[in-house]
Structure 1
Amino acid sequence: MFKKRINADKAKELFSGVIIPVSDPELLPIKDCDGRINAFDVVAGVDVPHYRRAAMDGFAVRASDTLGAGSNSPVILTAGTGVERGTCVMVHTGSPLPEGADAVVMVEDTVMHGDSVEVFTQVHPLKNVGEIGEDIQKGEVILKKGHRLRPCDIAVMASLGIRDIEVFRKPLVAIIPTGEELVPRGKESLKEGEIYETNGLMAALYIERWGGTPRLLDIVTDSPPRIKDAIISNLDADMIIISGGTSVGRRDYVPGIVESTGTLLVHGVGISPGKPTALGIINSKPVVCMPGYPVAGIVALYWFARPALRKLGNLPDEPDRIVRAVLSDKIASRAGYKTFARVKINNGKAIPLATSGAGILSSVSKADGFVIIPENIEGLSAGEEVDVVLIE
């Protein structure tokens, strides 16, 4: 039997406490860094802009030459190639400000007749002028270490002439599917007792979506030496996920192998579905042992593997995507277990699909999200407003 069932939140906290974030960086072109985490502060090496520039289309002037200009009393200036008393130069947005000019009159506040320019508004010094370093000053820290890069951040780096940046390496996650009943997805027909391997594929896709690099292994049979060999040969990974073999049956060897090879932190969690989940650490590498039943497996991935991967990858915490809905029917749950009830959303209603049936994978595909019922509550009633955590 399970040595001790542990509270789901305590299990997550215990597991998080043994995880050491990846610290080694890799140098990448900035165009490939969307969503990545910068490993060092990014410091501006130049001013932006690095020259005084016009901030509007119009005429560069000496502000003092526009004194008294108004809608009924324009000042007349002469358009030329340089700015001095009584003259102006046509400029475009982003143009260098000509020597002698200290302001720009917008083109809509002027009327041009040949070389004469009527100015209908008074401007003050630096009006419509972009100063050197107005956007970014040389030596300024523009992005702190640990920032998750967005397209706008990458554009700022491009404006500084930065071509490459050091970002934290994505965590490598080895995924080991186990089970005598599993067969590769390419097999054309199934015998009785055989099923296609799906958990490893699902885990690999989620790991990639969540910011890791998956390494999906071939199916490993329920053989302790082979499972142990698969673990040992993949300790170069930053995290290991093992699917199947976590319960208390005759062929459920995985928790014992983790315990004999490293440290078994948890075996048996107050989470439904997902009670047989086991968590451990081997050679400082976190190990998530997800149940073989696919719904229990996806709950284990969401509750344990996702936050572990985020910490490994130096990724900032992000809240779940949640929508509010009203329960169309009651949901039963078991005291002492955090229950993940699958629901479908329709016109503001949360329609329960299942709370049990850990092997019914299609119930997750049909669902829009989970209603997570706390351990101290025995079910929810129809008509209650609930949070629905959307399934990615």
Structure 2
Amino acid sequence: MGRIFKERTPVNEALRLFLENISTLRKTEEVPLESCPGRVLAETIISERDVPHYRRAAMDGYAVRAVNTLGASPANPVLLQLSDQIEEGGAIWVHTGAAMPEGADAVIMVEDTATAGNLVEIRAQVYPNRNVGQIGEDIKKGDRVFEEGHLLRPCDAAVLASLGFDRVKVFKKPVVAVIPTGDELVSRKKCVDVPPPGKMIETNGLMSALYVKKWGGIPRCTEIVPDNPDSIKRAVEANLDADMILLSGGTSVGKRDHAPEVLAALGKLLLHGIGASPGKPTALGIINSVPVVCLPGYPVAGLVALYFFVRPGIRKLAAIPEVPEPILKRRLAAKISSKIGYVNFIRVAFEGDKVRPLTGAGAGILSSVAKADGYVLVPEDIEGYDEGEEVDVFLIE
């Protein structure tokens, strides 16, 4: 392929094309309830029991027959006998959640009573089933509790536990191979001092792996691969058992940029070059049904590609349902300038009830992301936003 970007694919079109070439994984596994939050349910849950399975007191107080409290009030209390059985004129103390005694059909709250020896003074009238939890009032036997594809939360784990589950079937997480490339890179695990000029500590692989884990995948990181087509080819071939491959670096059009060429030689290069700034050198493709994302080496450009393509790609692989992304409405404390023809990823920091775009935030300035609270996406057909304009702010995870 040529050494220039012959075309730039709009971001939305690039994402559509990429997702069309990804098939959802259907592999399942059972996990304990303690580790199920954030996992996607791989079965429909139908209750095989009632919850609760017994009539229970919903308040601390006295279990009574409602008919025995008729007309009771603070000015005209009714006296009932303390007992261990509900008989005519009897009352039994119950705690919240305790089983209702045989014959009782209501609970009078302790606040509406007073005791005198073996007598209980009832100061309020109750009706049948007042302050009583009925069998199956939470979940009835035969209820469809969760559908397949539900994203499990801690509260869902509690519901499953109440149904008698100890483990639950979920879809397996996709394995994502992260392959950092670059002759200039040195491993942070092997570098004990400041690298010499021309060398730098590899950080994009770490960032990519952590985002993969955060978004529901299992990262598998390789050693740094040199800028050599054969070396990159061997690294990719060794990781084709993964569910997705991320090649970090070597995506532009310089003499040491080989990632897109290797992708095209091994499989299908869907596109090289997207209408995003930063992030233009991103390449997307498929090798033996395995989606491949070539991330630009500049860290912020790589981050943009992670957000735009890797996150939705993992969600499709893992059958993770779409959850609306939190968007904050804020006014700009300063003007934003952007390039026409590109979706511009503008980092911003909160400043009171406004946001301020960060200056000097080039694609190679990774600290600009750490200093930012969120980002603004300026569409391709807009030249920028003026100070004071209201914009949508996406939080940086």
2:308 pairs with 303, 306, 312, which one? 303
Q: CA deviation at 1:263?
A: 1.0
Q: What is aligned with 1:9? A: 12
State the 1:72 CA deviation.
Answer: 2.4
Paired with 1:63 and 1:246, the residues of 2 have a C-alpha distance of 77
How far off is 1:314 after superposition?
A: 1.7
CA displacement 1:255-279 (0-9 Å, x = unmatched): 1111121111111101111111000
Contact persistence 1:332–1:355 (CA under 8 A)? no
- 1:116 corresponds to which letter in structure 2? L
Q: Note if 1:340 corresponds to 2:340.
A: no
CA distance in 2, matches of 1:179, 1:102: 76
- CA separation of 1:109/1:199 partners in 2, compared to 1, >3 Å: closer, same or farther? same
* SS of residue matched to 2:336: coil
Contact 1:343 1:354 (8 Å CA) reproduced: no
Query: Aligned residue pairs: how many?
Result: 392
Q: In structure 1, what is the Cα distance between the partners aligned to 2:65 and 2:349?
A: 67
Give the corresponding residue for 1:70: 73
The 1:191–1:160 alpha-carbon spacing in structure 2 relative to 1, beyond 3 Å, is: same
SS at structure 2 position matched to 1:288: strand
Structure 2 CA distance for partners of 1:68 and 1:341, relative to 1, 3 Å: closer
| From 359, 368, 383, the counterpart of 1:363 | 368
Match for residue 285 of structure 1? Answer: 290
**Structure 1 partner of 2:320:** 315
In the alignment, is residue 382 of structure 1 matched against residue 382 of structure 2? no
Q: CA–CA distance in 2 between the matches of 1:76 and 1:344?
A: 67
Question: Is the 8 Å Cα contact of residues 38 and 167 (structure 1) preserved in structure 2?
Answer: yes
Alignment gaps of 5+ in structure 2: none
1:255 and 2:228 correspond:
no
Provide Cα deviations, 1:174-199, integer angstroms capped at 9, x if missing partner. 00011111111132342332111111
CA distance in 1, matches of 2:341, 2:184: 32
Asked if structure 1 preserves the Cα contact closer than 8 Å seen for 2:361 and 2:368, the reply is: no
Answer yes or no: is the 8 Å Cα contact 1:331–1:355 preserved in 2: no
Structure-2 separation of matches of 1:72 and 1:179: 87
Q: String of CA shifts for 1:258-306, please: whole Å, max 9, x gaps.
A: 1121111111101111111000111111111011111111111111111
For residue 237 of structure 1, report the CA deviation from its aligned partner: 1.1
Counterpart for residue 98 of structure 1: 101
Percent same amino acid among aligned pairs? 56
CA RMSD of superposed structures (Å): 1.7
Counterpart of 2:279 (choices 263, 269, 274) is: 274
Q: List alignment gaps of at least 5 residues for structure 1.
A: none
Q: Take 2:362 and 2:294, find their aligned partners in 1: how far apart are those partners?
A: 19
* 1:111–1:345 distance in 2 versus 1, CA, 3 Å: closer
Q: Is the 8 A contact 1:34 1:149 kept in 2?
A: yes
Counterpart CA distance in 1 for 2:76 and 2:249 is: 86
Q: Does 1:121 align with 2:124?
A: yes
Which of the residues 225, 228, 237 maps onto 2:233? Answer: 228
Amino acid across the alignment from 2:170: V
Report the Cα distance in structure 2 between the residues aligned to 1:366 and 1:108, rounded to whole angstroms.
54
The counterpart of 1:176, out of the listed 164, 174, 179, is: 179
Q: For 1:172 and 1:203, how far apart are their aligned partners in 2?
A: 13
Shift of 1:355: 7.6
Aligned pair partner of 1:23 in 2, 26, 30:
26
Amino acid at match of 1:372: L
CA distance in structure 2 between the partners assigned to 1:374 and 1:130 by the alignment = 55
Counterparts of 2:71 and 2:327 in 1: how far apart (Å)?
59
CA drift at 1:315: 1.6
Name the TM-score, length of structure 1 as normaliser. Answer: 0.95
The alpha carbon displacement at 1:134 in A equals 1.2
Q: Which moved more, 1:320-329 or 1:177-186?
A: 320-329
